Chains A and B, each alone.
Chain A
Amino acid sequence: MAQPSLQNTENPHTVEELENLAFELRSKLLHLCGTYEGAVHIGGDLSSADILTALFHHGLHVDPTDIANPTRDRFLLSKGHAAVCMYIAMSMRGFFSYDGIVDTYGQLDSAYGMHPCKVQLPGVEASTGSLGHGLPLAVGMALSARGRGESHRVVTLMGDGETGEGSVWEAAMAANSYELGNLVAFIDRNRQLMTSFDEERVFLEPYTDKWAAFGWNVVHIDGHDMGALVQAIDALPASDSRKPTVVVCETVKGKGVDFMERNLAWHAGSLGAADLDRAMAALQASREKESV
């Protein structure tokens, strides 16, 4: 089945361009984290930044000028606490104004808050935030698409921690039972919960085997390797195929800022002026190191 082409496929981004966009996304995240007084879930934002860049600038067939187009791909942020990362990724794709996000984030009557709200911000597909809710919603949207004979995909991004919620596995069974090949779940496998590292208290492993055992098509990649993300997206089975796909993305919480990486203290926080400079310098250094 041909995918509807809402995105500018004539001039697709190169992997290098996508990497630059991801760098810009991280810089903007840190900037917001430095200007907003309250806590930002910066650790899980940074671990999701490459995935969201790959989705909004390469994978998703969406049109920022026509947000209700019935043939658009649906994207649900199941890990709703990474909302700001999604808002900024979407602003870079043309959905929202970045200044609007930075100037109003978390303030009274702002559309941009800690967890996305469909009512206040119609450009997002669903109100999320409570963990384990995105996949059931995505199953419903995928069933709806199937029912109408539409060929778009429904894509969700979960954190690995939230897959401790039973509702995720209820929905995983439903997706398999209803053969929803139009459903794709990306998992930000940063291996950290809020207060501990995954395998310290909760054994998620053997992780990919669990998804395979639930009948899903499993793809396992480095979630910070833009080339791998692009390849995984390009290789997704057709939306009329019969198996849902999970893309387990190995990531690092706090990715790109050395003092935040794999540091439980940076699940959420805010940056003072000095820390912001330090974080920006670390991000720059990390980029130079990786481009060597």
Chain B
Amino acid sequence: MSQPDVLNQAFELGFTYTRSTGPVIGRFFTELRNRNIVGIKASDGRVVVPPMEYDPDTAEELSEFVEVGQQGEIVSFAWVKEPREAHPMDVPFAWAMIKLDGADVPMVHCIAAANESAVATGARVQVVWADETIGYITDIRCFELL
């Protein structure tokens, strides 16, 4: 008796739908793809980058976009001596809260630096763009010290 044929079906584990990022996050990502950075004005006028859909204090829907700079200042940082496999760099680097010029609220991203002593609170940094921008937060590959 011959071996019965094994039933076979290709299967890819993943979501079978795409999700719209909406008018606020979508706008931010579209701008990133074009190598621009935009924030949004919160209820109290503070410029929030990356933009939020709603004000966390008043719950007001936000819509007033503001273009911000591609340089900024380190508000705080953590020095990663031993990067993890999932981390964006495989050499020591810093995670940082960076307040971009024209923004009032810092954003979290990574900084490429030669060593820990090169990084300091208050130091100036600028965006390094990915070779190809596709509308992801990782279009900003990292920041580098000025």
**A, B assembled together:** no
